[in-house]
């Protein structure tokens, strides 16, 4: 090679350039990796049970670079301040008074207006949801349709709304929600027609259930899901609650749904610190859960389920609580649960709902 004049210099120059370019590319890749959010939050409440909460721009600051996108919804229930019950004490949470809860439909207009107040760039980080309907009302589907007509280009789904929820269902004024009520079927039929993504809270069992007894609401919930194969449904918290513990063989119950082709439209979220408490309670619980998610990585989503957070630490607390689970998942499963499943489902919903709105002005 040395006998060929100039060849060494002609080779060394491109190599040095390649090294420089490679270094620059690596630096850019590392920058892009650091800019990639840790998670998308499929389940978070920007307002609380008296419709107070975090300013949308403050919420964006809390998201920062850690949360890429977030579902946007409040709580569809308002806690009544009954002077006869609590006097001058103003309750802000449903466990602080015996007064009833009632459905608060204005929440949908509020969510739409704060979303519309944002720039297009900031709007792209939110996926607004309709929640202000009574699932016992045969007119509930009409409410959802009306919201879509009044606020086109905003909403992508419905929920989180509750059917059976410990300590809450019995407090709601009026008729008690039920999985067998045809009003709920009308809501889910309409969601399927439009392409709206559905997030539903329904406890799988009752509080303080007898160990080993069949889950009180499992069969009804499965029947409901089976009746709506064209509606994409996320079952919040995998059916767990504050005191509604995992049923016997909980992972096996979920897997029976996950492997059934008739439930291919059904997903689960692992939102809420109470759920994280169960999942991370022991090495066995972590192993059982991670094995299930690793087998079905496309069917689970992360959510924080925090209510009106005021700090980034609050917003990210459940994510941090799940660290033992994240460590037990494969890199592919972790990426899907934390970010990719969210993007796939909400992007699909956005496309379908915008198309329905265009066809139904």
pLDDT digits (tens, 9 = 90+) for 111-161: 999 999 999 999 999 999 999 999 999 999 999 999 999 999 999 999 999
pLDDT digits (tens, 9 = 90+) for 160-198: 999 999 999 999 999 999 999 999 999 999 999 999 999
The pLDDT > 90 percentage for the chain reads: 87
Overall pTM > 0.85: yes
| Distance separating alpha carbons of residues 223 and 149, to the nearest angstrom | 31
* Residue 69 CA: distances (Å) to CA of 60, 123, 125, 143, 309: 10, 10, 4, 26, 16
Pick the CATH number of 39-359 from 1.10.287.1080, 1.25.40.10, 3.40.47.10, 3.20.20.140: 3.20.20.140
User: In DSSP terms, which residues pair with 301 in a beta bridge?
Assistant: 269
Taking Cα atoms as reference points, which of 207, 205, 295 lies closest to residue 252? 295
Q: Which residue has the tokens 């991370």?
A: 280
The pLDDT > 70 percentage for the chain reads: 91
Residue 15, C-beta contacts closer than 8 angstroms, at least 6 positions apart? none
Q: Is pLDDT above 80 for 10? A: no
Q: Model confidence at 34, in pLDDT bands (50, 70, 90)?
A: low
Give the residue extent of every domain in the chain. Answer: 1-35, 39-359
- Poorest-pLDDT segment among 49-53, 211-215, 338-342: 211-215
Predicted local distance difference test score (pLDDT) of residue 253: 97
Q: Is 72 exposed, middle or buried (0-12, 13-18, 19+ CB in 10 A)?
A: buried
């Amino acid at each position: 090679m040395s006998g060929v004049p100039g060849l060494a210099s002609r080779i060394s120059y491109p190599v040095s350039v390649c090294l420089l370019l490679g270094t620059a590319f690596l630096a850019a890749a590392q920058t892009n990796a650091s800019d990639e959010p840790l998670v998308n939050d499929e389940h978070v409440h920007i307002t609380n049970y008296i419709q107070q909460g975090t300013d949308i721009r403050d919420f964006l600051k809390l998201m920062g670079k850690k949360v890429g996108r977030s579902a946007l919804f409040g709580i569809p229930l308002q806690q009544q301040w009954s002077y006869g019950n609590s006097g001058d004490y103003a309750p802000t949470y449903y466990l602080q008074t015996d007064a009833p809860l009632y459905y608060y439909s204005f929440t949908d207009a509020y969510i739409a207006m704060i979303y519309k107040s944002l720039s297009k760039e900031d709007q792209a980080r939110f996926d607004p949801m309709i929640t202000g309907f009574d699932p016992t009302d045969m007119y509930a589907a009409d409410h959802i349709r009306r919201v879509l007509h009044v606020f086109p280009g905003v909403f992508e789904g419905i929920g989180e709304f509750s059917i059976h929820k410990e300590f809450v269902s019995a407090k709601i004024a009026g008729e008690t929600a039920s999985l067998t009520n045809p009003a709920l079927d009308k809501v889910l039929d309409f969601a399927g027609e439009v392409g709206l993504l559905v997030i539903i809270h329904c406890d799988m069992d009752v509080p303080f259930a007898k160990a080993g007894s069949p889950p009180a609401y499992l069969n009804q919930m499965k029947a409901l899901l089976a009746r709506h194969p064209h509606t994409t449904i996320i079952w919040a918290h995998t059916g767990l609650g504050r005191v509604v513990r995992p049923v016997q063989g909980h992972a096996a119950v979920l897997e029976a749904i996950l492997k059934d082709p008739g439930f291919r439209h059904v997903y689960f979220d692992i939102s809420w610190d109470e759920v994280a408490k169960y999942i991370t309670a022991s090495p066995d619980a972590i192993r059982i859960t991670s094995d299930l998610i690793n087998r079905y990585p496309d069917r689970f989503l992360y959510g924080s389920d925090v209510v009106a957070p005021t700090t980034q630490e609050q917003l990210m607390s459940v994510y941090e609580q799940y660290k033992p689970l994240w460590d037990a998942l494969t890199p592919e499963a972790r990426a899907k649960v934390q970010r990719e499943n969210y993007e796939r489902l909400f992007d699909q919903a956005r496309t379908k709902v915008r198309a329905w709105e265009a066809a139904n002005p």
